Chain A
């Protein structure tokens, strides 16, 4: 049995999906979190179903690439029933989509989500009446706490008692194109009025219960204070991540170093097996001691900012500045997500409408240091040269990103359509959701990057044992010489294209010690990190760029970022050598 979760953006479809299927689809408090669909087999109240989480759509007309992905699914897949998820606090607007869904064919079960939010706003919804008016069952949920989710699927099952064959939801031929757009606007206005009438009949609105959520925007979105608090929040977040990481890193490293030393003492340093085994241990230790201490607090803080609903506020504050580089505020979202990982950041450009905006936003998003690069910046630069040096890297990065945006918007001048974005209310995330999301993102490192790291580390040990690494380093000499870096760094840059954090972790393997200060000067550390921050995106990012912006642009972008990284690396070395 196939079920599709459909509803408007930020109504909680992914939260319901995750509650039933385990954390498989990212959730956050801003419209457009889900930009492609996720399918999972789930066991619901004793029956097995295929549940699909679709990107949010405001109506059945495709407005952006994310909505297109949802409509695409509906065209090419058959479903047995639709679960229409509505943010109950935005009932009237949600019903506009419901009216369209009810006309499609498959049975619809309406799920009024975020009932706590609706109650807070003083809304009393007469469920029976609403169900009667719409001719479809209505179930209430608070998906963030899992309340009512089982009942939704219970209703689906009752509804499917007289089972009809699954049917395609949308005709494959694009009907919309035959519609005049003006007619569509008129029809949409009609739906708006109908939805409001339905609400008037089924909802009694009492006094809203005002709380901190309604007042906090007076400072966080304030004309001037808003920027002050934005800077403060970012600075505090950075310091928190760094202090946790820096406190843990030396202890964990020392522990692993002792292990490797013991191994070598016991079996002798030169044997092939020992050099491979110590490679494996070093790979393990690099993951546990250098990446985890920074990555875990980073992902947690990122999850909090996403789930509380602060990011759309940042888009509001930054809109004017983004216009100076030829984009608008919505483009801030991919850039901020880029601090987490470039892959979802590039995917997030789907919420932008114009292909030109998507190209520029994707380019800027991949230049922002992701969490893997943050691990390099914090683990190498901040750890050895102090947090201010790391902040300087972030500062230079923001300048370069802004400059790149400016240049690109000069090359492709276009009046951006301007910002239209819903600002969702603040929400208190549950600890469960924060931990699930952090683990979900961390899993990517544990299951994909770590094995590569351990195998790579062992391979590099073997290569060193047979002195193969020298050939590679020799081949990469033009790059390392230009950047005035030690020649041994060469191999690590290749690993860095696989995964950014590997560049530093393999560095420790390549130079044979975890004490970087002994083998690299401060200028070299800065140059190396700057180069790693900007050069060629990692393989996963290249793959997603390929799909989202096309292969020519991707190849061009990889070449350009390499040139840019070389230029910035050389400049960093020069500046650092002059001043320090």
Chain B
């Protein structure tokens, strides 16, 4: 079965997945790269804040809080 792309604000959560695309301008890429999230990394959403707050993303031993609008620009390959 073919894999589809989902942004990380969508389920399934708590499942490791590979980052395949980051939308948005160089601003977003630069900032994500800086804190340690790059294309090709395996990441996992481990927590969500209430009130449409940020997501907590695990990435290579790091825990990153990422606002929902930015998270919606990070796409992973979701196993179906």
Q: CB within 8 Å of B: which residues of A?
A: 58-59, 61, 63, 89-90, 92-93, 121, 181-182, 184-185, 188-189, 192, 217, 221, 223-224, 226-227, 312, 315-317, 319-321, 328-329, 417-423, 425
Contact A90 B53 (CB under 8 A): no
User: Chain A binding site: helix, strand, loop or mixed by DSSP?
Assistant: helix
Contact B65 A419 (CB under 8 A): yes
Contact B34 A319 (CB under 8 A): no
Contact B48 A223 (CB under 8 A): yes
Q: Which of B26, B51, B52, B64 contacts A420 (CB 8 A)?
A: B64
* B54 contacts across to A, CB distance below 8 A: 316, 319-320, 329, 419
A-B contact pairs, 14 of them (CB 8 A): A58-B34, A63-B31, A90-B36, A189-B39, A224-B50, A317-B53, A319-B65, A320-B54, A418-B70, A420-B64, A420-B65, A420-B70, A421-B65, A423-B63
Q: Which of B33, B49, B70 contacts A320 (CB 8 A)?
A: B49
Contact A92 B60 (CB under 8 A): yes
Contact B47 A419 (CB under 8 A): no
Give the docked Cα–Cα distance between A121 and B62 (Å).
11
* A329 contacts across to B, CB distance below 8 A: 53-54, 65, 67
Contacts A181-B30, A320-B50 known; A58 to B35 CB distance under 8 Å? yes
* A321 contacts across to B, CB distance below 8 A: 51
Contacts A329-B65, A421-B64 known; A192 to B33 CB distance under 8 Å? yes
Contact A420 B32 (CB under 8 A): yes
Interface size class of B (residues with CB under 8 A): 20 to 34
Q: CB within 8 Å of A: which residues of B?
A: 26-27, 29-36, 38-39, 47-54, 56, 60-70
Give the docked Cα–Cα distance between A59 and B31 (Å).
11
* A63 contacts across to B, CB distance below 8 A: 30-31, 34
What residue in chain B is nearest A123 (Cβ atoms)?
B61
Contact B65 A423 (CB under 8 A): yes
Contact A221 B31 (CB under 8 A): no
Q: Which of A181, A328, A423 contacts B67 (CB 8 A)?
A: A328
Besides A223-B48, A422-B63, 15 other CB < 8 A contacts?
A: A63-B34, A90-B62, A92-B36, A181-B30, A184-B30, A185-B33, A189-B38, A221-B49, A312-B65, A315-B65, A320-B50, A320-B53, A329-B53, A419-B65, A419-B70
* A320 contacts across to B, CB distance below 8 A: 49-54
Contact A185 B29 (CB under 8 A): yes
Q: How far is the CB of B20 from chain A (nearest CB, A)?
A: 14
Give the docked Cα–Cα distance between A421 and B35 (Å).
7
What residue in chain B is nearest A222 (Cβ atoms)?
B47
Give the docked Cα–Cα distance between A92 and B12 (Å).
27
Contacts A221-B56, A420-B64, A422-B63 known; A182 to B36 CB distance under 8 Å? no
Contact B62 A422 (CB under 8 A): yes
Give the docked Cα–Cα distance between A121 and B60 (Å).
12
Give the docked Cα–Cα distance between A221 and B33 (Å).
25
Give the docked Cα–Cα distance between A181 and B25 (Å).
10
Give the docked Cα–Cα distance between A221 and B65 (Å).
11
Contact A189 B33 (CB under 8 A): yes
* B39 contacts across to A, CB distance below 8 A: 189
Q: Which of A93, A226, A312, A420 contacts B66 (CB 8 A)?
A: A420
* A417 contacts across to B, CB distance below 8 A: 27, 31, 70
* B34 contacts across to A, CB distance below 8 A: 58-59, 63, 188
* Pairs of residues from A and B, 8 with the lowest C-beta to C-beta distance, nearest first: A418-B67, A320-B53, A320-B51, A419-B67, A58-B34, A181-B26, A93-B36, A423-B63
Contact B31 A319 (CB under 8 A): no
* B47 contacts across to A, CB distance below 8 A: 217, 221
Give the docked Cα–Cα distance between A59 and B38 (Å).
14
* B32 contacts across to A, CB distance below 8 A: 420
* B30 contacts across to A, CB distance below 8 A: 61, 63, 181, 184-185, 188
* B49 contacts across to A, CB distance below 8 A: 221, 223, 226, 316-317, 319-320
Contact B35 A422 (CB under 8 A): yes
What residue in chain A is nearest B34 (Cβ atoms)?
A58
Give the docked Cα–Cα distance between A418 and B61 (Å).
22
* B27 contacts across to A, CB distance below 8 A: 417
Q: How far is the CB of B31 from chain A (nearest CB, A)?
A: 5
Contacts A58-B34, A189-B33, A189-B38 known; A420 to B67 CB distance under 8 Å? yes
Give the docked Cα–Cα distance between A417 and B47 (Å).
21
Q: How far is the CB of B66 from chain A (nearest CB, A)?
A: 6
Contact B64 A188 (CB under 8 A): no
Contacts A188-B33, A192-B33, A320-B53 known; A422 to B64 CB distance under 8 Å? yes
Give the docked Cα–Cα distance between A316 and B71 (Å).
14
Which of A61, A181, A224, A316 has most B Cβ within 10 Å? A316
* A420 contacts across to B, CB distance below 8 A: 31-32, 35, 64-67, 70
Q: How far is the CB of B18 from chain A (nearest CB, A)?
A: 14
Give the docked Cα–Cα distance between A428 and B65 (Å).
22
Contact B61 A89 (CB under 8 A): yes
* B62 contacts across to A, CB distance below 8 A: 90, 93, 422
Give the docked Cα–Cα distance between A519 and B35 (Å).
57
Which of B34, B52, B66 has most A Cβ within 10 Å? B34
Give the docked Cα–Cα distance between A192 and B36 (Å).
8
What residue in chain A is nearest B53 (Cβ atoms)?
A320
Give the docked Cα–Cα distance between A189 and B26 (Å).
13
